[in-house]
Amino acid sequence: MSADVDIDRWLTTQGFGAEGRGRARAELERHELTRPGKARLSLEKLDRATAVLGARFVLHCHAADCIAWARATGRAPLTTDVKQACQRCGGSENARAAQALTEAGIRKLVVVGGTPATREELERLLGGKVELRLVDGTRHRPIDRAKADLEWADRVLLWGATELHHKVSKQYADAPNAKHRVVHVPRRGVAQLLAGAVESVTRAAR
């Protein structure tokens, strides 16, 4: 097994493009982890090299919200063509939408509807970042529970394009305090659901 790696190839696997590799190499040289003309880096230096580059640069994809996020980090933003290397979304539309939701200031979210699989995805994306109440849209929700959800949540999302019975959604939609908290999302997909919540926050701020 080789005790070193090709620097240019290693930077490419980390998501650095042609311009980014030049800047990254200059940073490694500045920290005396390599020198001009040297092609390989010892494995024992990789952890330090990773830390040096992580402190100096932030990789982002071409999505506008990821670009804006990267510019606000205080590190030098570099565009990557490897979507999975984006440090904000990792190339996932769902992850990008989840990040946007937390950036919008939503901390307590109720989702009414969806499938067991999409509810698991929401738990995976938002667990630990947002408090969630995920309501099965096919089962009766006692009116006192629905009222408690409304009083508790920053937003209640009625996911109309999924498994959602009218009698369940009606308990939320017809509540007196539903105007600013309840959001009807007629689109499928987790990213579209979370985008609906973010859009409602944007509208309320106008």
Q: How far is CA 143 from CA 31, 82, 94, 171, in A?
A: 63, 48, 31, 7
CA gap 180, 156 in Å, rounded: 9
Domain spans, the chain: 4-85, 93-205
Task: Give pLDDT, residue 206.
Answer: 67
CA gap 126, 78 in Å, rounded: 26
Nearest to 114 by CA among 179, 196, 175, 176: 196
- How many CA within 13 A on the CB side of residue 179? 3
3-state secondary structure (DSSP) of residue 37: coil
Give tens-digit pLDDT for 24-69: 999 999 999 999 999 999 999 999 999 999 999 999 999 888 999 8
Give tens-digit pLDDT for 146-172: 999 999 999 999 998 788 899 999 888
The rounded Cα 168 to chain-centroid distance in angstroms is: 29
Secondary structure letter of residue 61 according to DSSP:
-
Question: Which contacts of 126-130 are long-range, i.e. CB under 8 A and separated by 24 or more positions?
Answer: 126/98, 126/101, 126/102, 129/98, 129/102, 130/101, 130/102, 130/106
Average pLDDT over residues 73-97: 91
Q: Range with the lowest mean pLDDT among 1-10, 17-26, 119-128?
A: 1-10
Average pLDDT over residues 108-125: 93
Sign of dihedral through CA atoms 155, 160, 161, 163?
positive
CA gap 40, 57 in Å, rounded: 21
The pLDDT of residue 1 is above 70? no
Nearest to 153 by CA among 205, 106, 99: 106
CA gap 54, 90 in Å, rounded: 15
Strand partners, 59: 78
Task: Give pLDDT, residue 2.
Answer: 67
- CATH for 93-205, options being 3.30.2290.10, 3.40.1440.60, 3.40.640.10, 3.40.50.2300: 3.40.50.2300
Number of CB atoms found within 10 A of residue 97's CB: 22
Q: Which residues contact 22 (CB under 8 A, 6 or more apart)?
A: none
Average pLDDT over residues 69-89: 91
